[in-house]
Structure 1
């Protein structure tokens, strides 16, 4: 017997309640969601290592690799940001004078808002804001310890959790969960592979371009571009605007600053609209509007961390709703859905992978 499709009003209410719960339980759900994301990336590594070494040793090696990647990315980002931060803070008076002169010039041209900005948004204000951001970043050690604890337990419990799902009484629900998890994990791996390649290529080209253009701290700007490009839309925008403003303040040449801005913008546009789609194919096809909404929504709910995890959450939603006849429209609205499993009428009679005819479970790999 087929169940009726849920009403749109009920879906909207469920979404609102879920987002409210996510906001209220951010301290718990934020590290958990990141741990699940890391687990999806790390599980294939542990599987391969387990085939050539004892499972406990494979777990330790996998955790060490995860920690090394986190420390490497964090250290490079902190090095680049701190170097540029010291430059700006050491020349705060100079930049403040440039800002006030620009505000006065706008006032002479009848742009009255410039005076308001000159009184409220100044370089010292920006420096204090950046200092608060750095302080907040320094308080994330506990967050990462919790994440690593979740990841360690998750790597141990993956197969047990899979067998628990296979033993669910409703084979259709069990199959849908397994299909959604497999498709989500696969798309997350593609997403991170593509973002890593694109970010690395973008960072290298930014550094080379600024170095050849004679812009100071070209390598640091390249590292910043590499790190920021892991955040779709927002990261590339910041990696384009901030170096251009720095060039304008450093050289006092609007034409050169405009040249740098448009060159970086063309670079980001080419990678984001031509190279990245060809690397990811249809696996990550998603509406740019949905991507932007996901970034801003989860930034509002979970702060800076939500800026990064927003797109993976949207990918998970699209993966889980794609094979459902009643909820598949959500995936269609988010973008062209990938082949994510069987339709509902086939799932009703489909056997759960890993289950024999008598309901006995067997061990299979994900």
Structure 2
């Protein structure tokens, strides 16, 4: 029996490794598919409401148009913000290089040998190239978005038919469990994105005001970047904090002012991300912070920036499906935070 149990465990591990390898190798297929399912969960209530008094295809056109407008607004904020920063970097590259050289000399005079290897590899053109590379990736986002919206269009047309197939007697009891899980996932994801969007807008506005008050150049660009990157947990706020700090070094030529900028931005991110968001989310999205961090970094390793964004929604879906399975409910309990039963009861109540 022990050998049999060990064999099953090895089999599960091997299957999991193969699945992850498939997801990594086939990311050009799976990433658009997962994103399309996420978008469908977000916009289906709008599509369903419009279908009550509009033809189905016309309702689909309105829903897709509204979705595209929202995505373009967020994408434009990132593109515009990094574009402005790239221009500023190109015009002020000499200032960065001079300041870095001074700091390197100071560190070497105080016996910090790490400054030497860094100086050998550092070139201010790298920072310019990195910023321009981010803008270039945003341009490549267009092809990815087209594929996602094609899948979304096809998926929205099939939602009702798919639910009917799940309700068929021949699909029971699994069909009923999948329908319940899908409904709960959609409800939790919509609540997650509503709270995330509110926090992102608030973060962008507060960062903009703080940058203006501190006299930091490109205040509007920093606010736009903070707004858009806040949709990526942990990694996004980190980037939105470090970039203005580096620019403060070049602008003010003072490490004290850079520290003030760094502390101020981190206080903003902490208050909104660690206090306000959990307060607004409530118990319905109670997830272990460790599980959230692991999910963001794990999926960013598998799928890059797209994985960092979609990591938490994938975790939410995983927890819900585990909760719906008697054999997997213990996993949902470990990954959640607080009363799991109450969390799912609240989501079901809101959906009804």
Q: TM-score, normalised by structure 2?
A: 0.91
Change (3 A) 1:294 1:138: same
Instruction: State whether structure 2 residue 208 is matched by structure 1 residue 207.
Output: yes
Q: CA separation in 1, counterparts of 2:40 and 2:172?
A: 25
Change (3 A) 1:179 1:10: farther
- Secondary structure of 2:111's counterpart equals coil
1:318 corresponds to which residue? 319
Q: CA separation in 2, counterparts of 1:275 and 1:9?
A: 43
Deviation at 1:338, TM superposition (A): 5.2
1:56 corresponds to which residue? 57
Q: Which moved more, 1:175-184 or 1:34-43?
A: 175-184
1:142 corresponds to which residue? 143
Which blocks of at least 5 consecutive residues in structure 2 are unaligned?
346-350
Q: CA separation in 2, counterparts of 1:217 and 1:100?
A: 24
CA contact (8 A) 2:285 2:343 kept: no
1:117 corresponds to which residue? 118
Which aligned runs of 4 or more in structure 1 are off by greater than 6 angstroms? Answer: none
Deviation at 1:133, TM superposition (A): 3.3
Aligned positions of 1:101-116 closer than 5 A: 101-116=102-117
Deviation at 1:290, TM superposition (A): 1.4
Deviation at 1:340, TM superposition (A): 7.5
Q: CA separation in 2, counterparts of 1:158 and 1:242?
A: 42
2:177 corresponds to which residue? 176
Change (3 A) 1:36 1:90: same
Which blocks of at least 5 consecutive residues in structure 1 are unaligned?
343-364
Deviations 1:336-362 (A, max 9, x none): 3355779xxxxxxxxxxxxxxxxxxxx
Deviation at 1:202, TM superposition (A): 0.8
Q: TM-score, normalised by structure 1?
A: 0.87
1:189 corresponds to which residue? 190
CA contact (8 A) 1:319 1:340 kept: no
Change (3 A) 1:257 1:271: same
CA contact (8 A) 1:30 1:302 kept: yes
Q: CA separation in 2, counterparts of 1:56 and 1:308?
A: 30
CA contact (8 A) 2:78 2:225 kept: yes
Q: CA separation in 1, counterparts of 2:174 and 2:106?
A: 65
Higher share in helix? 2
Q: Which moved more, 1:285-294 or 1:122-131?
A: 122-131
1:157 corresponds to which residue? 158
Change (3 A) 1:304 1:338: farther
Q: CA separation in 2, counterparts of 1:126 and 1:327?
A: 46
Deviation at 1:17, TM superposition (A): 2.3
- How many residues align? The count is 340
